[in-house]
Each structure stands twice: as C-alpha cells, then as structure tokens.
Structure 1
Amino acid sequence: MNTKLHNHPSEQQAMVLEDLSPLARISSFIRSRISDNTTLVWLPAVWNTCGYADILEVKQGEILVAAYPFLDAHLEQLGRDAHRYHLEEATNLDESVIYSSLVRYSTAWDTDHDGNIESGTFLKMILLLPLLKQMGVNILYMLPVTRYSTINLKGDIGSPYAVQSMFELDPNLHDPLLDDMTSITLNDEMSALVAACHLLDIKVTVDFIPRVTARNSDLIRNHPEWVYWIHNEALEGFAPPPIPELDFFEECKPDKLETVYRSGETAAFLAKFSLPPNDLNEELWLQLKHRSQETGEELLHLIEEEMGITTAPAHSDWINDVQPIWTDITFLRLYADNNPLVEHLIKPDQAPYVLFDTIKCNYYPAKKPNRELWDLLIEGLRFNLNTYGIDGFRIDIGHVLPVPLLDEMFDVVKSIKPEALLISEDLFNRNHQKAAAVGYNIMLGSGWNIMTDITKDNLTEYLRELPQLAIHVFACAETADTPRITSRGGVALARMIAVLNGFLPNAIPYITTGFEMNEELPLNCGLGDNTDGADIPRAFFNRMQIDWSKSESMIPLLSELHEFKSLKRNLMDAEKFFVAESPEHVVMYGYMDEEERLICCFNLSGDQAVELSLAPFRNVDAAWKVGIDSHFRQEQLSSAALSANKVKLQPYQAIIFTC
C-alpha cells in the first residue's frame, strides 16, 4: 500500500511517486491529462461520490463529464478519505460486509452512448469504492478476473469461469482511458485497484479455480493428459448417466459407489472417454501442436478434426442433478490413477474419466498425485498474492479438492499472508466444522438455500443454528449463482431480507453486485433456479450492465444498516442472541442484556399485515424506538402504540426496535 497517497500529492510529488506504485503512476498520468476536456463520457450519476461539479449534461440518472478531470477529482478524494482508515492485518469478521463483484459487469456502461455496453474495468471499479464504503463494505470479493476462453461460448461473451490462463488477466478489464500510458500493464491496473481498496480499509479476495479449466485451456499445449478427453461423437448430448436407483440431487458417498457403477447407463457413459492425444497418437499430436504454433490455429480444433477427440465438458458431482452441463469447461485431472474403491468396478483398459466420485477427490483420493499440476496450482496462488497484493481467495469448488493439496495450498497462502481470508464454496451450514478444520475462515453456507423458498420454519431453524457455527457464513439473499431475490418477491422482499441478513451472529452481510440497485436479472441461475430454464440474459455469459441510473436504490438502506449496526456492536454478541416465539407469518430474533434490547421483526407475508406485541421483551426503564424500517415510505409508529407494545407490520416489512 502506498501510504504517501494519504496526503494529496502535488504535481512534483506525483513525479516522485511515479516509480513507487501503479496507483500513484495512474493517478499521475490522469492528472497530466486534466486539461483534456474533449474526452467525454456518460456515467451513472450515483458514481459521482465526490460531488464533481463540472457536469456538462444530466439525463435520466446519468451525467456527461470530461473523463480525466472527473477521474482526477475522485482520485483526489480517495487520497483525502484514506486519512480516516487504517488497514489492519486481521479482519474482524463480526464487523464485516462482503461485496461480490464481477468487474466486467459491475462497472459496465455505455459511456459514449453508441448503443454498445463497454466492459467494466479495474479503473472504473475504483470509482465504486466510496459507494461500497457507504454500505459498510470491507471485503471486496471479485469473481474471476483471469483471461477466459472465447470458444464454446455460453451466451454472447462467455463465462469468466472458463479460465484459459490463471496467470493472465482478462484483457477486457483494461481501461481505454489508459491507452496512452505505455508504462502501465494490465497487472498494474489490477494492483492499483487493490491499493485503492487498501487505502479505504477494504480487503480484496479473488476467485481461484483449481478444479476446472477452459476446454481449450493453455495447459493442453504442454500437458494434454492434465484434462479428460471424449470421442467427438459423444459430445452432442454429453451428460452424466442418470441413476434411477438413487434420489434426486444425492451426494455420491462411498456406500453409493456400487449402485452408481452397476446402474444401466454407466458403462455406456464410461465408453465415451478416450486416452489423451499424446497417448493416442504421439506423432500426430506433435505435428498438430507444431502446426498450431506456426499458423495460430486453435489447437483443440485441430485435435477434434484430425484425431476425433475433444475435451470432456464438466458436470455436477451430485447424482441426478438437474444443472445443465458446463460446456465451456473441463475438469483437471488431479491424479494419474483411480481411487482404489472403484478399481474393481471399471475395466482394466478404461480411459481416464470423470464421474460423480472422481470429481470429489476429497472423498476419493487416488495414489498418484499429478504433482506437476499441483505445483502449478500452488504457484498460481503465490502469483496472485505477490503480483497484486490481494488478501485472500474464494476456492472454487474447493470442498472437492484432495485434502493434501488443499493443505499445501493454504500453507503457502498463510506463509505469505498469515491473516489471509479463505472462503469455502460449501453450500450447507452443516459442514461448518469441516470447513473450519481445513483452514477456511468464511464459507458460503445455507443462506442462499433458505432464501430460495422462504418459510418460517426453515428460516427459524437456520437462525437457531447460527450461534453454534465454528465459522462465519454469508448472510445473503442471493449469490452470483442464484436468481435475484427481487425475482422471488420484488423490491419489498429484497429490502426486508437485507435487514434480516444485517444482524445475524456468525454471518457476514453479503451483497451480490446489483443487489444494491434492485436488479432483477441474475448473474447465473445454477442454484435455486426459478426460471424453468428460460433463456434470459445472465451476466456470467452475456454483455450486461447494472441499471445504475435508477432513482430508487438499496444504497440508503444498506448504509443505514451499517451505521445502525456500528452503534450496537457491544450488544450483538452470539451469546446474547435469541429467536423469539412469534405470530404466524412473522419471524423475530434479537439480542438482549441487562441494559438493552434489540428486537428484529419480519413479516414474511407479501399480502397480509400482521400485529404483534413487544411486551415480552420490554425493558421497563426505557421506551421503544424504531432503529430501522425497511419500507421505502415509512409510516411513523405512534408513541402510544409503542408505549402499549403494539406493532403492526405491513406485508414484507422489517422493523428493528431498541429500548
């Protein structure tokens, strides 16, 4: 972190700082263009957090500004704001808020009004940081920012999870405003964003993808045996075999192996796999590899055309899952052999294959680790930490990795960053002890599932288990993999759930980018899909933008939640947490000690108002006050009603009371 930016540098100081950090060099470059009033951009008015005054035109939530003076003003403000913060090595997770960003989408905008959405960039992401701080964000979690494949596209631009290189960034995240800055690299632009976050006491974590890679991954050129291959004719309709003897969405535990491998369609599925090209025909493989290098032709296409095989699309590790096949990615082959438990269930000449069990190397490790691949994955972690200065990782489907590999990965991360944030993708709270024992300090958990079909019983059970968790979980209404909460009940439900998630023990409020603007279109719908497979735009695969021009957003409510919560830190202890008995359609929880009460009330009904009493929680020496009300246009509760402990909740209303 460049602490000298805490003092706004003069032009002479900026020249001195130029060699010290990418952020300082970018700031100096932008300042050198401050007289350029011809490079004009349209931007969302809400991004103008520093109150830049030289606005040329205002139009439906947008402003037209000269790009360089506008950026310079915001970087100046960043330097001034930095005085208010200090970056601690250890993150207090009880006081944290996570913002999940897909950078290309979070700051995408049609800046020149030509009808085309320009990609979000690392530079534009810096403009969002003051908004994130307003909402209490102190952890920025970035979905993949690496270079991804542009073949076998899902949607019109493809998935960021189809990682083609873990050591290169997505070139679309470069900002054209820095084109003339010849000394800057894309790595520098990412590092500048991280440094800007650190100035505001925001830790940065990124998605790390160790289990899958793009089907035409850069790794194939030198190590085709590191992925799985199938015959071309098997590609159309490729899918794991249905196992009618087992239930829907069933986990492949060891006692299920015999059933899976003896099931009717499993043998035909295994026959679809092929040896890798270098083992199938080494001479032809070398010729194709040389030809690709000489002509620039796509190597995977040459293999498909000349050898009749292709990389196997990836699929879920859950038996009888309805998730569609991931046609743009393939699994990495972490072991050179098979788990001993399945040796008697497959043919001796079986080609390397993927099935529900082989994906889960945590349950089914083999005897011969692909050591060179493991070392490369570990080097990828080291590269991210040392190159960009980030603070941790979310390990994509890390719960299926071999335990020895995960241990090595975490040892390396913690040797470089002892207080690293390590986020598990595990989907269920019941696995909290296992995730904590492995070394994670945050996990996704069950919140997303509870919000898929909100019922009082499910929500109450979820609330009661939170104080006992050994690890912090996401407190979320939605994730990048689920539909938007607004698509389940509109803005009123989203606001109520935002309040509900703001005050939970061992749970970190989690904002999926776009949630703060009441977005309805999802990033993805892989979990809890409510679209019935509808072909709707999804930010994982399509060029999209958040509607930052809306007149009403969630930002004031999220900011209010953060400010109010900061006043109640001492009360909000897991040992003081309770879930209260409540009327039908209502959930109530809170915190209580001898001096203070905080009662959170939520009407889960979207069409019925509900009356309830606060009398059981009353501190006789104090009057009830309304701390937070989720409704946009609040009707003030009368002092008489509060004195009588009588409360009426409107549909999808949340109110927090204190006394």
Structure 2
Amino acid sequence: MKYLPLLLQNLEKEAEIHEKDIFNYALPQSWNLFGYSDTRILRNNEILVNPYAFYHYSFQHLFFDEKGKLKKAQSLVKKDWLKKANIYSLHIRSASAWDHDRDDNLNENLYGLKDNGTFLKAMLLLPFYKRMGINTILLHQIFSLGKTHTTHDYSNKECVLDFRLIDDQLKDPLVPQLSAKQQCIAFMEACHLLGFHVILEYCPGKMSIDNFYARECPEYFYWIKEEEYKNYHAPICHALPQNTLPFSYTLKDFYRSEDVKEHIQKFVKHDDPCKKVLAPAFSDQINANLPIDEDTTYFRFYEDIHTHAPAELKKAGIPYMTQDIIRADLHPAKKPFTALWDTLTENIIWYQNELQVDGIFLGKPFLIPEKLQKQMAVQAKKNKKGFVMIAEDTIHENGALWKRKGYDAISGNSAYEETQIEQYRFHNFAYQLKGCVCPMFAASEFYDSRRSSCLENGKTLTNMLSIMNMFLPNGIPMYMNGVESYEVQPLQLSEYGDQKYLYSLPKSDTRYLKQAYIDRYYYNYLAHDLNTLPTLMEHANHIREEYIEEIHTPQACIPVWFDTPRDAGIGFTYVKEDKALLVVCNTNVHQSVHLHIHTENLMSELPFRYQSILQIYSTNDPYIHDVFMDDFQNIPMDFAPGEIKFIEFKAQ
C-alpha cells in the first residue's frame, strides 16, 4: 500500500491550500455518501461544494478509522474467488463523470478541474457498489487512446497507443502531485482495501492506427501504399454469403475473387521505400458490408503466411491483411514473431506487478493465435497465484476449449439471450448453464448490446434479470455501469446491433445519440429511483452469500419445473445438509401470473426431512411468509410482473 496513502496526504494538503476558495462545483447529492454538511442544496438534487474539502472529508470516512489510521484491508477470497464474484463493469471516464460547473458539457471546467471521470472520483463510488453486493471490478479502457476519425468524442476502447501508458485524462487535477499511473495504482489499492478484486480488460490483437509500437517494430504490422488509402475497403467475395466466417472451406472461393486480388495488391513490405501507411482494420467476417475502422490496425503475428493461402502469395512474401489473416486463431502460420508474443504476454505480468490487478478479461481473443492464448494464461498464472483469466467468447459450447487453454471463465452470450423473454431464450440460457463445463457471465447487457432498461417495461425487466442472474447455476453475475440508474442509451452499440436503440433518449436530453464508451457522457445520478435496484441487490446478495458454494456445485442444484415448458417461470433449488433455497422468478414483466412450482424431484433429492417452508424474501415483498403445498405437493403461488421469490426449506 503505497500510492493510496500518498494520494490522501496530498489531497489533505490541497484541501488546506484551497480551504477559503469559493467554488461553484456541483455534484449529485447521491455522491454524498458520508454526510458532508458544508453544502448548498439545489432544487435538482445537486449540491455545491468545495471539491477539495468534499473529497478529503469523504475519503477520511471511507479509508480511515476513528483513530485516524488507514483501515486494515478487508480479507480477499483467494481460492476459487471468481466463482464467488459479483462483477461490476466499470468504465471510469463515464461512470464518475459529471458537469461540475453546469455549463452543459463535459469539457474541462472553469476551475481547471475535470468533468470526465477520474480514478479519484471513481473511488468515491466504491461504497455504493459495495452496497449492491459487488465484490469485483472489471476495469475497461484505462490506457491512452489514439485520435479518432469518427464523429464521436473518443476512439473505441481498443484504439490503444501503448499498452502500458495510463490515460492522462483519468488523472484528477485535485491531486496534481500524482501521475496518471500513480493515481491508477491508488485506485487499485483502494479497491483491495475495501475488499474488491480487480479484473482488467486487455485486447492485444489490435491497436491504434497511430500506435507507438509501429515506430520501433514496423514488421509487426501490415502496410499499404499511401495512394491506395482512399480506395481501401474490406475485400468482397460474391461467391460467398453475407457475414461468412473465414473457415478453411471458404478460402478457395475467397481467393478467386477479383476484389480480393486487387485488395492484396495494395500491400507492401514494412521496409519498402515507397510512401506507406498502416492498414486500417475491418471486420473478420467476409461480406460484412461494414466500413473500415480507420482508428485501429491489426498485429501481424507471423513472419510467413498460413498454409491455406495461394502458393503465389506465399512465394511473393508480401504481408497482407484479409479476413482469414485476421483470424490468427483459425489460420496460424509457422514462423511466429516470438518477440511480439513475449511482449504481449509480458504486458500481463506488468499489470500484475505494477498495477496489482487480480485477473485479465481477454477481449477479442479470436484475433490472436491459439498458442499465444495459452502462453498468456500459463505465464500469468505462474507469476501470480490465484490470478484469473477470462476470455470474451459468446459461444457457450467453447467453454470446454477455453478450460483446456487454462482459462477460468468466458463471457458467454447472456446479454443477447436474456432480454428475449417472449422467445423463451432466457429460459434456454438459464437451464443450460448447469451443464456447462466453464462458468460464464450472467448479464442482461454487454457494452456492445442494447440496454435492458430501454425495452418495454424496462425497469421491471432490469430488476428481474439483475437479481435472477445472481442465482443462476455456474453463472457469474456481471453488471454494466449505469444499470443502477436504469440507463437506456447503449454504451457502444455493435455495428451488428439495431441502430434504433441509439435513439433511446429524447432529443431534449443533452446526451441524445451519444454513447458512454465513445462520447462525453454521464449517468443519471439524480434519478429518483436510483436506490431501487441497489436495495434489491443488497438484500438478494445476503441470501446469495449464504448459498454461494451450492450455486457453483452442480450436485447441489435442482432445476425447478412448472406445469409446462411455456410457463413464465424459471427456478432453481440449492441444497445444503439441513436447508435448501428455492429461487423462482416470473419472467413475464407485463402481467401477474399464477405458477405451480413442482417439487416432485426436489422432495426425492432433499437430504433432510423439512419442518418448515418459508418465503424469506421477494423483490416485491420483503416480509417473511409461510408457504403451503397443495394436495399434489406442488407450491401454487401468485407472482407480480417480474417478481422473484426466495423460499427456504428447513429441517428445524
């Protein structure tokens, strides 16, 4: 613990220096978690404060005990901690952003302070996440980004200049003595002090088009003639369908395409004396009909070209980039750039040693060779005991493959399945989880999907999915930042997503058409129902913690059945030696329903004779009630829209 105490000491000095300064610095009242009283309360539930005094006061209560000493760090779970994780996906730049000087934009404000989120301001929100039952932070995009060619304020989160250069925008000028890297480490230390694990997103397959690596190692990238840039596009093959993945059987037709041949002619060697530029990235799918990504480029992982490419191209020896080349996991070559592989692996070791992270979320792993995927997992776990590796993969059947590579979990496809309630895709996802070899995220939304709150009866849907995800067998609940304020605008909608969701906010909102991951954006911390979901999560998490071992033990889980597979019910029972928890939700967020909860399989598998059945909690009713069975030993119950009931069987 080095930089957190240093940050707090310098903040105290700055508070003394600016003690008598007058500030028109606004904050959401919901950020005042420790009752700072020297405020002026505004009608819209903002408060005006001296920022130095406010943060110093808040951190004194957050990090110090009554004797004025730094609190002892909460003990972190070491063994199998990922299975017990409750993850909050945090994008600091937007999650702790606010228009502090109230000028209707998030630029640097009139005091030279920052409206965008910073590491320091994000620390203030940690107790709020803790209350929600969160114990793990998944940290997105903390590295400096390259310039963008889009109409957005920022490049996408993969447009990194240097994998070890912390974004200076996330440095808070309230503590000017500490660099961006030092403030980043202080944030990590704060997380660990309060009992959070930290997982860092890392996407080593691509970088900014103006990245720093290309200057020193141009051979690691693909280059095109400068005059060809204006005509550069993803090559098209009319003999193949739209959105075709470049599997081996497609390549014969692919390389016959005249457009593909013309595309390849644009490339030159890195040491060619002609004027050249880095080749912009494009989709890994053939005929995706998507524009090129002028902000990013791909790494070249091999000196040679894979065996499925035409002989004349391999003989020519000019590195080129096509959809099959991008998919280094599908088409590895034979001569890897070992130094590049080692550098990308050593970055993870650097994150462990310097930034003190506890795990890596590997973004877009299909862009890197399978051997490199394995190398990263092996080296990371060898260097730090208890370190976890998670792969972004939406195909749940691939879980077993990732397990063999040394990974602990995958992202899964929950965000694209769960919100499609009427099609029973949430049912399918939930009930298949128990049989999955590899744990996966249970989430109602990902950064590139629509937000669940933007759908019909979205708040009820978000509440139901958020709580039920905490009780899915073999699932790791994960929440995108802003879920607690029922944000409706996509964080960064995928190019494959329905563009109508970009219009989820009204034109009168200053954030209209903006997306939190690529635009200046803030979350609605003034919402009147800001505490609704956190309160539900707080109660549900107390129950989850008691049954966490059983949730991740297949033998302790008994799926719950209803009258028909088309009933609007999902349920699971988790069994201990002397008690069992039955969790059932009504997936119909529009109407109340009456469900018959069948207990035939439950009664035959309970290891004890129950003496009482109680409803110990409900998302619509916090009180304890007796529960009765009918003559057929079923439990008939009425459920409000989206309601989840927790029923406990006890031996005594």
1:246-285 correspondence runs (5 A)? 246-263=240-257, 265-271=259-265, 273-276=266-269, 278-281=271-274
SS of the aligned residue for 1:394 comes to strand
Residue aligning to 1:16 = none
Identify unmatched segments of 5+ residues in structure 1: 3-20, 282-306
Structure 2 residue aligned with 1:566: 545
1:574/1:127 CA distance change after superposition, 3 Å: same
On the 8 A contact 2:617/2:624 being kept in 1, the answer is no
Q: Aligned equivalents of 1:28 and 1:47: distance in 2?
A: 22
Hey, what's the Cα distance between the residues in 1 that align with 2:289 and 2:622? 45
Distance across 2 between alignment mates of 1:517 and 1:144: 22
- Asked if 1:228 is matched to 2:222, the reply is yes
Residue 146 (structure 2) aligned to one of 139, 146, 149:
149
Q: What is the Cα deviation at residue 234 of structure 1?
A: 4.8
Instruction: Please name the residue that 2:192 is paired with.
Output: 198
Equivalent residues of 2:255, 2:310 under 8 A apart: no
Partner of 2:118: 121
Comparing 426-435 and 364-373, the one that deviates more:
364-373
Offset of residue 620 of structure 1: 6.3
Residue 564 of structure 1 deviates from its aligned partner by: 2.2
Query: What is the CA–CA distance in structure 2 between the aligned matches of 1:247 and 1:604, rounded to whole Å?
Result: 36
Q: Deviations over 1:167-197 (max 9, x none)?
A: 2111110101112x2xx22111001000001
Give runs of aligned pairs for residues 284-299 of structure 1, distance below 5 A.
Answer: none
Once the two structures are superposed, the pairs formed by residues 450-469 of structure 1 within 5 Å of their partners are 450-451=417-418, 453-455=420-422, 457-469=424-436
Partner of 1:608: 591
Q: Say if 1:464 and 1:579, in contact at 8 Å, map to a contact too.
A: yes
Distance 2:618 2:555 in 1: 23
For 1:547 and 1:377, the matched residues in 2 are separated by: 37
Q: CA deviation at 1:23?
A: 0.8
Aligned match of 1:77: 61
Give secondary structure in 2 for the equivalent of 1:86.
coil
| Residue of structure 1 in register with 2:507 after alignment | none
C-alpha spacing 1:542/1:77, structure 2 compared with 1 (3 Å): same
What is the distance in 2 between the residues matched to 1:518 and 1:237? 43
* Paired letter, 1:142: L
Q: Alpha carbons of 1:509 and 1:381: their partners in 2 closer, same or farther (altered >3 Å)?
A: same
Q: How many angstroms apart in 1 are the aligned matches of 2:465 and 2:523?
A: 20
Aligned residue in 1 for 2:333: 366
**Distance change >3 Å, CA 590–CA 171, structure 1 → 2:** same
Distance (Å, rounded) in 2 between the aligned partners of 1:75 and 1:655: 38
Give yes or no for the alignment of 1:106 onto 2:95: yes
Q: 2:416, 2:449 within 8 Å by CA — same for their partners in 1?
A: no
Aligned match of 1:552 = 529
- Contact (CA 8 Å) 1:93, 1:472: kept in 2 or not? no
Structure-2 separation of matches of 1:455 and 1:517: 25
Q: Does 1:650 align with 2:618?
A: no
Q: Distance in 2 between matches of 1:314 and 1:106?
A: 28
Q: Give the direction of change, closer, same or farther, for the CA distance of 1:396–1:323 in structure 2 (3 Å limit).
A: farther
Q: Which residue of 1 aligns with 2:606?
A: none
The answer on whether the counterparts of 1:208 and 1:395 sit within 8 Å (CA) in structure 2 is yes
8 Å Cα contact 1:154/1:328 also seen in 2: no
Residue pairs, 1:484-563, within 5 angstroms: 484-489=451-456, 490-526=458-494, 529-532=497-500, 536-553=513-530, 554-563=533-542
Deviation at 1:592, TM superposition (A): 4.4
Q: 1:578, 1:557 → 2: CA distance?
A: 24
Residue of structure 1 equivalent to 2:111? none
Deviations 1:24-45 (A, max 9, x none): 1111112223441426432222
Taking the aligned partners of 1:90 and 1:611, their CA distance within structure 2 comes to: 41
Contact 1:456 1:586 in 2 (8 A): no
Bigger shift: 603-612 or 107-116? 603-612
Q: Residue 284 of structure 1 aligns with which residue?
A: none
SS, match of residue 470 in structure 2: coil
Question: 1:625-644, aligned counterparts within 5 Å?
Answer: 625-629=615-619, 631=620
For the residue of structure 1 that corresponds to 2:478, the secondary structure is strand
Partner of 1:291: none
Identity %: 24
Aligned amino acid, residue 557 of structure 2: F
Q: Is 1:353–2:320 an aligned residue pair?
A: yes
Q: Please, which runs of 5 or more residues in structure 2 have no aligned partner?
A: 66-70, 107-114, 504-512, 604-608
Cα deviation, residue 157, structure 1: 2.5
Give 1:653's aligned amino acid.
Answer: E
8 Å Cα contact 2:615/2:624 also seen in 1 = no
* Pairwise CA RMSD: 2.8
Equivalent pairs, count: 607
Counterpart secondary structure, 2:613: coil
Query: Structure 1, residues 98-156: CA drift from partner, whole Å, max 9, x if none?
Result: 11111111101112223222110011111111111112222211111111112424512
- The amino acid that maps onto 1:500 is M
Q: Which residue identity is paired with 2:44?
A: Q
Change in Cα spacing, 1:250 to 1:605, as seen in structure 2 (3 Å) is farther
Q: Cα distance 1:378–1:615, how it changes in 2: closer, same or farther (>3 A)?
A: closer
How far, CA to CA, are the matches of 1:209 and 1:640 in structure 2?
50
Q: Secondary structure, in 3 states, of the residue corresponding to 1:190?
A: helix
Does the CA-based 8 Å contact 1:42-1:62 persist in structure 2? Answer: yes
What SS class does the counterpart of residue 52 from structure 1 fall into? coil
Partner of 2:76: 87
Distance in 2, matches of 1:235 and 1:479, equals: 33
Residue of structure 1 equivalent to 2:571: 589
- Find the residue that maps to 1:146 and give its secondary structure: coil
Change (3 A) 1:450 1:239: farther
| Separation of aligned partners in 2, 1:311 and 1:587 | 53
Correspondences of 1:410-421 after superposition (within 5 Å): 410-421=377-388
Asked if residue 189 in structure 1 is aligned to residue 179 in structure 2, the reply is: no
Whether the 8 Å contact between 1:187 and 1:387 is mirrored in structure 2 is no
Residues 3-57 of structure 1: per-residue CA shift (max 9 Å, x gap)? xxxxxxxxxxxxxxxxxx1111111112223441426432222222223233232
Q: Residues 371 and 60 of structure 1: is their aligned pair in 2 closer, same or farther, counting only changes over 3 Å?
A: same
Quote the residue 2:401 is aligned against.
Answer: 434
Does the CA-based 8 Å contact 2:454-2:488 persist in structure 1?
Answer: yes
CA contact (8 A) 1:577 1:589 kept: no
Q: Deviations over 1:301-322 (max 9, x none)?
A: xxxxxx2x43222122233446
Q: 1:404 to 1:567 in 2, by over 3 A?
A: closer
